[in-house]
Amino acid sequence: MSGNKLVKNTSFYLAATYFPYLVSFITLPIYTRYLSTDDYAVLALIQSFIAFLPMLMTFQLHTSIYRFFVDYEGKELKTFISSIILFLVITSFTASYVLMDALPSILDLVFPSIPSTQYDIFNLAIIIAVLNIFQGVNMAVVRMREEAKKFMVISISLLIISILITIVEVVLLEKGINGMVEAMLISAILSFITYTFFNRKYFSFSVNLKYVKAPLLFSLPLIINALSSYIFMYSDRIILEKYVPTYLSIGAIGLYALADRIAFLFKAFVNQVQSAFQPHFYKLFKVDPEKAKMEAYKASEIVMLIVAIGIVLTTLFSRELVTLVFPEEYHSVWPMIPVLSTCFFFRSLYSFSNLGIFFQKKTIYTTITTFIAAAINICLNLVLIPIIGVYGAVFSTVASFFASFLIIRIIANKIEPIPMNIALAVKCTLIMFASMVGVWLLHENVSNNYMILLLKFSTLILVLFFIKKTGIISKEQVIGVLKK
């Protein structure tokens, strides 16, 4: 994949990711008129239920497609993918039958506050979770095809249809939470049909379970990785609720969630760059490992600089942005946003370091890394939250992301080293955190808003000068990307 194609694919993936994110804000005021707070509570539990079930039903087998896709061609590739699908049909349908039979007992134990009259909605949630499993397979095939533009068009088209279905169910028919879940089910069915048709040339009736053995060994360690990630995402909120005083906990969690939601912009960028680069890396690595490593080195430099610039910009102007956009009770969130954003700088370093481990099918080390990072996150939360409240959760999250990068980097150097400009990573890290400390001190000690803005723009010029001096991203490259 050329540099231009990588940029194009990344932009298409980003569009497909950010558009739903934007729409969720636009449609929220509409749905709140038709859904009670109790409805939203049930909806949140249903969504967590849907997110959790595939981890148990699939053995994370769908993730193996990203790695094994490049090992097969033609009819053998079709047989490989079809064999994976058959295995997932067996496991997901068996698990669904058991879950539906035991659902009342499970809900009584896990979600005791849910009234039994709403148990049928969770049956629909199980069906949605199963459809999402095969959606995961389809997404893996789509990404490995490296047809990002088609993916963007299909994704946004399905999103628009989904919004219309939801408006009909919730607004016009006034079905409340039932309408919301029914709309999710209809949308999942449409997505399954659309992407299956789009990928039809990769499926066949020829199956052979021997193609499942190696992917299963590859994917099984990722179950613990997925579970650790799931715990990783929610432990801070649980501990916040437990250890922060009751009269502050809801507000603290709200502020933390808002900061995390804004930092998601960096997460989406890093994830979509990885989605665009990963298939290319695996294909090139089979042919020319050294060239693949050099391209990974260059790509990691560019991503580092882009994310670092974005975080510095966020640091410099997050207070002004928060003050302008959000009500006064949210204004204290501004220092959290840039700090949480640094998580995804370290995540980008982790992702590039992990390329070689995934290619060598040593996913057990990814699982170990995630497990250790989750343990660090929980321990730091337990120590710091009782002392400094919500900032304990913020610093714990950053520290665990940094730890995951260090661990995977050490492991990668022993298995399949991927070169990286560590000196640049250190410089970017120092600049990001120095700018955060500097902006905080600026607001604490300077009251003149014009002077504050002048100093901020001066800092921005210095950072851009540093980027120019690195020579990694030239003026011609930037202009070329903008034109495209």
Q: For residue range 93-140, what is the model confidence (pLDDT) as tens digits? A: 898 888 888 888 877 776 666 777 778 888 898 999 899 888 888 888
Over residues 58-90, the pLDDT tens digits come to 777 777 787 788 788 888 888 988 888 888 889
Phi, psi angles (nearest 5°) of residue 481: -65, -40
Over residues 293-310, the pLDDT tens digits come to 898 888 888 888 889 988
The reported pLDDT for the residue numbered 248 is 45
Q: What is the mean pLDDT of residues 253-261?
A: 66
Res. 189 pLDDT band, cuts 50 70 90: very high
Q: In angstroms, what is the C-alpha Rg of the chain? A: 23
The reported pLDDT for the residue numbered 185 is 93
Q: How far apart are CA 65 and CA 56, in angstroms?
A: 18
Single pTM value for the model: 0.64
Residue 178: other Cβ atoms inside 10 A: 16
CB of 284 within 8 A of CB of 291? yes
Tokens 């343990």 appear where?
A: 375
Q: Regarding predicted confidence, which is higher, 371 or 20?
A: 371
CB of 54 within 8 A of CB of 222? no
Among 183, 151, 129, residue whose Cα is nearest residue 8: 151
The reported pLDDT for the residue numbered 390 is 79
CB of 224 within 8 A of CB of 367? yes
Q: Regarding predicted confidence, which is higher, 225 or 1?
A: 225
* Domain boundaries, given as residue ranges, for the chain: 1-208, 221-484
| CA angle centred on 29, ends 23 and 32, rounded to 5° | 120
CB of 228 within 8 A of CB of 370? yes
Phi, psi angles (nearest 5°) of residue 60: 60, 25
The reported pLDDT for the residue numbered 406 is 94
Q: How far apart are CA 189 and CA 418, in angstroms?
A: 40
Structure tokens at 83: 């064999």
Phi, psi angles (nearest 5°) of residue 51: -70, -30
**With 0-12 CB in 10 A as exposed, 13-18 as middle and 19+ as buried, what is 285?**
buried
Average pLDDT, the chain: 79
